Amino acid sequence: MRTLKTLFSPIALLIAGLGFAIGAMAGGHGDSHKGDHNNIVAVATEAGSFSTLLTALDAASLTTVLEGDGPFTVFAPTDEAFAALPAGALEGLLADPDQLAKVLTLHVVSGESNAADVVQLSEVVTVEGSTLMIDTTDGVSVGGAKVVAADVPASNGVIHVIDRVILPQS
């Protein structure tokens, strides 16, 4: 069974993001990609359908991490995916930065995996540390979320758009 290995621990990801709440919504950019208008955060900002994700990244102090060198594979929930969460769930996550960071890092895999790579895998290991199953029975699903657009390129990785927010297993 092939898996993607994490290159760094979830703790290292969180430490790297601590203290750097430079938000994409405010137009900020991280030091390593200052002026880079093609990193994951910049591409998501330009797409216009990831406002909630960008706000959440800022609230969890993870924006700068995804503006960094990478490479990363991000399974990015759309605004509609966040809107489909149960009533109060998003507000609860935004009020709890630690839990929010856990949810967001569940959507990120170290390394760059294009769709052709992903469909060859049965699972991926996220930077949060969880294993998400990949199902190619009807399109491609990762952790139960359907990939609705694949291979959105960024200078520091790739974005695959998904139709729902992946939540940690209880």
pLDDT at 36: 62
pLDDT at 40: 97
Q: Is the peptide bond before 86 cis (omega within 30 degrees of 0)?
A: no
| DSSP three-state, residue 42 | helix
pLDDT at 169: 82
pLDDT at 37: 76
Q: Is 110 in contact with 5 (CB distance < 8 Å)? A: yes
Q: Which residues of the chain have pLDDT under 70?
A: 1-36, 170
Spatial strand order in the sheet of 131-135:
108-110, 72-77, 157-162, 145-154, 141-142, 131-135, 123-125
Query: Can you name the CATH fold of 10-162?
Result: FAS1 domain (2.30.180)
